Structure formats: C-alpha cells, structure tokens
Amino acid sequence: MGQQKAVPSRPNGSSRRRAVRTKAELPGTLMTCRAFGANKSFERSTPSGLPALSALRRERRRSLDTRRLRLLDFASLCPFSCMSPKRYNISSAYDLADDALAAIRGHYGEQYLEDFVEADSDSFWTRIHKPSKKTVLHTFLANWEYSRWEESYSMMEPSSSFQVISDYLKACGVSLPNWFTPDRADRRRRGVWALIERAFPRAADAAFQLLFQDREFLILFQDLLHRAMLANGPKATSPLASTPIERPTYLPSWLRKGVFFRDRGRCQHCGSDISGLLDLDNILHYDHLLPLHSGGTNEATNFQLLCLNCNLRKGGRRRSVSNVNQSYW
C-alpha cells in the first residue's frame, strides 16, 4: 500500500463559508433543526440533510396541523378571540358619555368644541387621513373630562369631596397611594389633582366604548371634525392639512373586526345578514358614515357595515343612519 497523502488543512474561515453555503442550499433543513432545538454538531453531521429533512418535516407538519385544529376550534367559539383583551369599568363612562353627547348636540350653548379635538396638532391630521386605534374621539373625551374636573376642582376642598374623588379614581382603575387619605388630601392638593389627571384617559377609553355604538353621535362628531378642519386647515403646520382625504385602499384588521362586532354582521340600512354565516351571496362593505364628499374623514369612528345594494344606492350622498340595535332577548 502506498503511503496516504496528508489532507491539507483548510484555511481559516473556509468551514464558515461551507456552513453559509449549506444554509443557502438547505434553508428548510436548518430552519426545521432550529425549530426542534437541534444543535450545531447535528447540522454539521448531516450536511445533505436528506434523511433528517423528511423526518423533521413530517413532525413539523403534524405540529402545525395540531395548532391549526386548536385555533379553528377556539375561533369557532369566539370569532373575535384574536382581539387583545382590554377591560373597562363601564361605571366610569356613563356620566362622561352623557355629558359629551349633550355637548355635541349643542345643549351647552356657544362652546367652541373644535378646541377639544386639537385640530392644530399633527396627530389630528394623521388620524383623519389614516385610521388609528387612538382616535380623535379619545382626545375629545379626555379633554372634555379635563374641562369638567378643572372647573369643579378649583372650587372644592379635596377632603370634603374625598369620597367622590376616591370612587372616581377607583372606577378608572387608578392605584391610590398611601398618603391619599381625608386627613392629608388638603395638604397634598397638587398630588390629588395629579391622580385625577391620570384618570382622564381611562375614563375617555370607557366612554368611547359606549359612544362608538351610537351612530347618530358619530355622525354629529364627524360634523364637528369637518368644522375643525375648515377652521384650522389654513393655519395648520401639518402637510396633511392641505392634502385631500382619499378613500383608503384597505382597513386594518382591528378596525374591521371592531366595526363587524359592533354592527353584528348586519347591514345598517336594510338589516340583512352579511356575516357570511347565513347567506353567502351577500357581500360585506365597509362604508363611511359621513361620505368623504360631504366632509367625512378616514377616522376610525366613521365606518359602518353595508350590504352591496345599500352601498350602491347610497353612493357618495349623506344619508340618515340607523341607531337601532338588536334586542338581547
């Protein structure tokens, strides 16, 4: 036998380049190995990956099939189970929602409500052009709650109204510090006001859940936004202030789910089922409550469900909305 020739050693970095080529050649193999916790020695011991590939792919398919079945079973119980769970204490919402509704209807006289939507800010113009989870209605409600408390708090002693303040903070989910007692409230007046300010966004979130179901209020709120656009558009610094509002090419999934859940999968004009559960022929349309041609916006509160026929009949005209909800029993 002849003497075997020594195998020349690889230069530094060649094994690394080989590993890179293996990843490029077999991305599925290495991805599957990572998914099932394979170590690097296993990847190097099977550079071709063919025996391990078939076994791991079969195991991966079984795992994915099991996940799909579980998701389908859970989704059948709750079609909106993918929505993030966010809870509200609705008891903190009634007073603010009723007061905001009265203000929108003009029951408080000549108040300049356009100031409460902050139409001079860039965020206002962004939200009316593109739907956002934090709507302009949230801003309006938080500012309105601030104005209500600011006037009353300036004329009250925290100790004399301690129970009212405490109940409000608890309803809004604000954690109370140890110093928050009737004996110390007057000496910590600024601290008490800071706690109340912390509750405003939470009260606005809760009131939003009520007012989002009132389509007549939402139409009046869109009229308020239109007036704010006309009054603040010429002096706004945002470049979107001079840009026409165009119909969005798509709506985010959270908005479609929210509107579908609120309207219960029914056309808001004729009441026909467009959920696809009872009648597959009806086509679901997400329509503007106040059309863009009439001064409407792409704000998240300006959408409703319509069937194809009602949407075609409505076109770009303004039409009265239905504010009748289905009875629970």
* Partner residues linked to 287 by β-bridges: 304
- pLDDT tens track for 100-112: 999 999 888 766 8
- Segment holding 40, helix H or strand E: helix 40-45
Residue 252 has pLDDT above 70, yes or no: yes
Residue labelled with tokens 């962004």 = 126
Report, in this order, helix, strand and coil percent for the chain, each rounded to 5. Answer: 55, 5, 40
pTM of the model: 0.71
Q: What is the DSSP string of 223-264?
A: HHHHHHHHHHTTT--SGGGGSPP---S---HHHHHHHHHHHT
- pLDDT tens track for 1-21: 445 544 444 444 444 444 444
Predicted local confidence at residue 329, as pLDDT: 80
Cα separation, 233 vs 188, in Å, equals 42
Mean pLDDT (whole number) for 129-153: 94
Residue 250 has pLDDT above 70, yes or no: yes
Residue 172 has pLDDT above 50, yes or no: yes
- Tokens linked to 251: 């709506």
Higher pLDDT, residue 86 or 35: 86
Greatest CA separation for the chain: 110
- Tokens linked to 176: 């109370």
Q: Is 195 helix (H, G, I), strand (E, B) or coil?
A: helix
Cα separation, 252 vs 300, in Å, equals 10
Q: How many CA atoms lie within 13 A of 109 on its CB side?
A: 1
Confidence of residue 76 (pLDDT cuts 50, 70, 90): very low
Going 202 to 81 to 221 to 207, the CA torsion angle's sign is negative
Confidence of residue 281 (pLDDT cuts 50, 70, 90): low
Higher pLDDT, residue 61 or 271: 271
Predicted local confidence at residue 26, as pLDDT: 36
Cα separation, 32 vs 252, in Å, equals 32
Predicted local confidence at residue 308, as pLDDT: 87
Residue 72 has pLDDT above 90, yes or no: no
Q: Is 37 helix (H, G, I), strand (E, B) or coil?
A: coil
- Tokens linked to 56: 């791991």
- DSSP class of 296: -
φ, ψ at 283 (rounded to 5°): -105, 130
Predicted local confidence at residue 107, as pLDDT: 85
- Segment holding 305, helix H or strand E: strand 303-307
